Structure 1
Amino acid sequence: MHGRRLKISHETRVVYQGPAISSHNELRMTPLTLPAQTTLDSRIAISPTAQTWSYWDYWGTQVTTFDLMEPHESLSVVATSLVETSPPAPLPAEPDWGTIRARLENGRLAEFGLPTPLTTVTDETVEAARAAADGLGPHEAALAVAGLVRDRVDYISGSTGVHTGAQEAWEQGAGVCQDITHLTVALLRRIGLPSRYVSGYLHPDPDPAPHEKVAGQSHAWVEYWAGGWVGYDPTNRTRAGESHVIVGKGREYGDVVPHKGVYHGAPSGSPQVEVEFTRVA
């Protein structure tokens, strides 16, 4: 299988209205190494300079932490990575619904079958998903539910915030990839498919020219379990493939926030985030 080699630069800059006395930060910006993805290089530069520590969290995401104990008026974090990606593998042979139900009830998949604060929907919304999936096998049902969500929710940048829940996105019919993913995850769980939220990056060009820098963005998509985990991008109605770079997986966005922390000092403005891709091979 032919893949791609992608260089990614993810810069976050925060400017405070006055000195921040101290700050404590967690970053989830290091792409994972997985069967279909290999992280060849990854580094994080912080200004003001700070010592970092790394660990793997419960969900298997690499976390980089750092503290700034001196006053500072701005904070810059630049995460750069070089990642090889592969096309999606063939779909796994799907089990029947009874087998999936048994796996959900007896094992760690149970964590991916329950609602969370951002993946809670009403019974009425669930009925629409059940109607769309009625009579279908797991793979076809997943596509039908993802299609239902995308038909209902228009992608409109800036239409929601990071705390918007799945039901709110359904009702207003607009959202970003995070909302479309939360809603898809919510409904897949309710029809009986274990599902998780995937956080990472998406190269915006399906066939990028080598060595050309392209502005991109953080992205979110779904993995559902039907005999194996299958990545699907409901926002773009496509399987997750060589344009997708995985950083973290969890139950919802709250498990994989790219940058979070606390600080003591003056208010801050909204973080300015820039993501840049370069296909190097």
Structure 2
Amino acid sequence: MTVSSWRLKVQHRTGFTYAGKVDSSYNEARMSPRNETRQAVLDARVEVWPTARTYRYEDYWGTIVTAFDVHSAHESLQVTAAATVETLPAGDLLPSTGGIGWDELATPANVDRWHELLLPTPRTAIDEELTELAESLKAVEPTPHGAAMALCERIRDEMTYEAGVTGVQTDAVQSWRQRKGVCQDISHLVVGLLRAMGTPARYVSGYLHPNPDAAVGETVVGQSHAWVEWWVGRWTAFDPTNGVPVGERHVVVGRGREYADVPPLKGVYSGPPTPARASRSR
């Protein structure tokens, strides 16, 4: 059997514009893909303006962090990450009845092992209505994996993808009440509901090639993307926004409990009291 891989060149540019000149800033960028089973990073670099010395490390969740300080006066900050990545198709997919059962998932050993990925966070906490939805799906689906797939289908049916109606601080309950949001909101909602079922789940940040039929060498404009992974004896990755398994068009950058664990760029600065304004990330 022939496995068709993709080679993607990704350029991600983002930054801050301050209210005035700042004396110094201390920053972390999570914009670099990492080597793992279904993707190989052939080249990766992060450039900063104003120029600053950078150093890299892996954070608690395994995401590559590029840290840097700027100690000259500046009114804006720009970070550009570029990478060349080879990706593979989704591969061996679990059937709806695959994976471990509810009883095994709930054993003390598994609950203890994945404790941090079973707890609600500020953006994934759910209310009574959503808890009832999680319980109803769990009651009718014979396996955790089947329930997760049914959940993704339900959320995709109920939610409308619409940019500009939510922000990075929007939580799962807010996006559910308006039935609108973007990939970040949909992923937070799915993660929160999975955890309410007792299924360990994590939020994944990365990139998605928007056109599966693009010609070789064609340049396309996209944005950062988010999807989910759940553990049912093994980790399964799924893109609930598009209703597809994670495959060759997806590039993983980081994983965590929610967006706050994997923001592309964050930092603190010494300067005007008015908050910095993030420039468009693409």
TM-score interval, smaller chain: over 0.9
Give the gaps of 5 or more residues in structure 2: none
Cα contact 1:202–1:216 (8 A) shared by 2: yes
Letter matched to residue 191 of structure 1? M
Residue aligning to 1:271: 278
Residue aligning to 2:229: 223
Cα contact 2:200–2:231 (8 A) shared by 1: yes
- CA distance in structure 2 between the aligned counterparts of 1:15 and 1:272, rounded to whole angstroms: 7
- CA distance in structure 2 between the aligned counterparts of 1:268 and 1:123, rounded to whole angstroms: 35
Residue aligning to 2:120: 115
Residue aligning to 1:65: 67
Cα contact 2:15–2:265 (8 A) shared by 1: no
| 167, 170, 173: which one aligns with 2:176 | 170
Cα contact 1:133–1:145 (8 A) shared by 2: no
Tell me by how many angstroms 1:14 deviates: 2.6
Tell me by how many angstroms 1:89 deviates: 2.2
- Does the alignment pair 1:195 with 2:201? yes
Tell me by how many angstroms 1:152 deviates: 2.1
Tell me by how many angstroms 1:154 deviates: 1.1
Give the gaps of 5 or more residues in structure 1: 276-281
**Percent sequence identity over matched residues?**
47
Say how many residue pairs are matched. Answer: 274
Cα contact 1:132–1:148 (8 A) shared by 2: no
Higher share in strand: 1
Residue aligning to 1:56: 58
Letter matched to residue 3 of structure 1? S
- Does the alignment pair 1:135 with 2:143? no
Tell me by how many angstroms 1:122 deviates: 1.1
Deviation by residue 1:50-105 (Cα, 9 ceiling, x = unmatched): 00111111000011100001101221111000011101121354111111112432
Residue aligning to 2:35: 33
Cα contact 1:178–1:220 (8 A) shared by 2: yes
Letter matched to residue 140 of structure 2? G
Letter matched to residue 115 of structure 1? P
Tell me by how many angstroms 1:269 deviates: 5.7
DSSP-derived class of the 2:280 partner: strand
Residue aligning to 1:204: 210
- Does the alignment pair 1:180 with 2:186? yes
Residue aligning to 1:279: none
TM-score, structure 1 as length reference: 0.93
Superposition CA RMSD, Å = 1.4
Residue aligning to 2:8: 6
Letter matched to residue 246 of structure 2? A
Cα contact 1:104–1:194 (8 A) shared by 2: no
TM-score, structure 2 as length reference: 0.93
Letter matched to residue 101 of structure 2? D
- CA distance in structure 2 between the aligned counterparts of 1:268 and 1:96, rounded to whole angstroms: 48
- CA distance in structure 2 between the aligned counterparts of 1:195 and 1:151, rounded to whole angstroms: 21
Tell me by how many angstroms 1:274 deviates: 4.5
